[in-house]
Amino acid sequence: MAVDYGVYLVTDSTPAILGSRSLAGAVEASLRGGAGVVQYRDKTASHDDAVRTARELLAVTRRFGVPLLVNDRVEVAVEVGCEGVHIGQDDMEFQKARQMLGPDKIIGVTASSTEEALRACEAGATYLGLGTVYATQTKKDTKAIIGPHGVRDILAALAAAGHASVPTVCIGGINASNAGDVLLLAAAATTTTTTSGSTPAKSLDGVAVVSALVAAPDPADAARHLLGQVLRARVPD
């Protein structure tokens, strides 16, 4: 499955964010608007409930040909047979997850520093989630706010270390008003001047958001708008 990381939806089922809407409905609307990846994130559901919800979401994502990833809970991803997982620095060890999932599944890793990003690439991460970029109400245990410049510095380090081909998304407090700032700063950093001229280095492939889609009055419209910003900032190959 070819993956477009441009608009990456992370779900949240808490009433403060989802309100009275249905999660599957918000996911479907985001996909209609062009979201290219869905991560099912639920810290509190029982295993059985998580499996049930993941199956429901998988039925939706499969209709759109988009991968469904599960946050943290590798055993849930294995049981439902979805496309992969997303793990943070304090979650399951990467090689254990790879062993459980097999060689072909997606394993994304969160990185909030250059060291974490390089380590994840060396371990074989399929893609990286860089952040937390801005303060967010959605994740309570956020450790580091790295800002757009932190994202840019990690991208530069990845390029310098030869990891330019690993896709990257940024996460944390991203919305329609600030997405352009992060994307354009990252895009500006993707051109380095060398003695042989300008060479593209490493850009952001997309933005990962929770509330900007899940809590949007019209998630389809919100996804369309974010995708437009991503596409405008993309550096042509």
- Give the residues lining the site for ligand TZP (CB under 6 A): 10, 131-132, 136, 138-139, 142, 171-174, 209-212
Q: Residue 173's Cα: distance from chain center in Å?
A: 13
Q: How far apart are CA 197 and CA 191, in angstroms?
A: 10
Structure token digits, residue 40? 């099912």
Residues 86 to 105 in contact with Mg ion, rule: CB under 5 A? 88, 91
Q: Does 172 bind Mg ion (CB under 5 A)?
A: no
Looking at the Cβ atoms of 79 and 91, the one nearer to Mg ion is 91
Q: Does 72 bind Mg ion (CB under 5 A)?
A: yes
| CB of residue 166 to ligand TZP, shortest distance in Å | 18
Query: If 0-12 CB within 10 Å is exposed, 13-18 middle and 19+ buried, where does residue 228 land?
Result: middle
Contact 150, 187 (CB under 8 A): no
Place of tokens 């496309």: 83
Judged by CB under 5 A, which stretch of 30-38, 85-93, 115-123, 144-152 contacts Mg ion?
Answer: 85-93
> How, if at all, do strands 206-209 and 7-10 pair?
parallel
Could you tell me how many residues of this chain bind Mg ion (CB under 5 A)? 3
In the complex, least distance from residue 197 CB atom to ligand TZP, rounded to whole angstroms: 37
Burial of 165 (0-12, 13-18, 19+ CB in 10 A): exposed
Cα angle 180, 192, 175; round to 5: 10
Q: Pick what 91 binds: Mg ion, ligand TZP, none; C-beta below 5 to 8 Å, kind-dependent.
A: Mg ion
Q: Of 139 and 152, which has the nearer Cβ to ligand TZP? A: 139
Nearer to ligand TZP, 21 or 62 (CB): 21
| Residue 10, binding choice from ligand TZP, Mg ion, none, Cβ under 5 to 8 Å by partner class | ligand TZP
Position of minimal CB gap to Mg ion: 88
One-character DSSP codes across 9-54: EE----HHHHTTS-HHHHHHHHHHTT--EEEE--SSS-HHHHHHHH
Min. distance of Cβ 151 from ligand TZP in angstroms? 12
- Only one of the segments 55-63, 81-89, 157-165, 227-235 lies at the binding site for Mg ion (rule: CB under 5 A); that segment is 81-89
Closest separation between CB of residue 43 and Mg ion, Å?
A: 8
CB of 230 to ligand TZP, least distance (A): 15
| Partner touching 212 among Mg ion, ligand TZP, none, CB below 5 to 8 Å by kind | ligand TZP
Handedness of CA 151, 36, 76, 79 (dihedral sign): negative
Q: Could you tell me whether strands 197-200 and 191-194 are parallel, antiparallel, or unpaired per DSSP bridges?
A: antiparallel
DSSP letter string over 172-197? SS--TTTHHHHHHHHHHTTEEEETTE
State the nearest-atom distance from the C-beta of 216 to ligand TZP, in Å: 11
Which residues of this chain interact with Mg ion, rule CB under 5 A?
Answer: 72, 88, 91
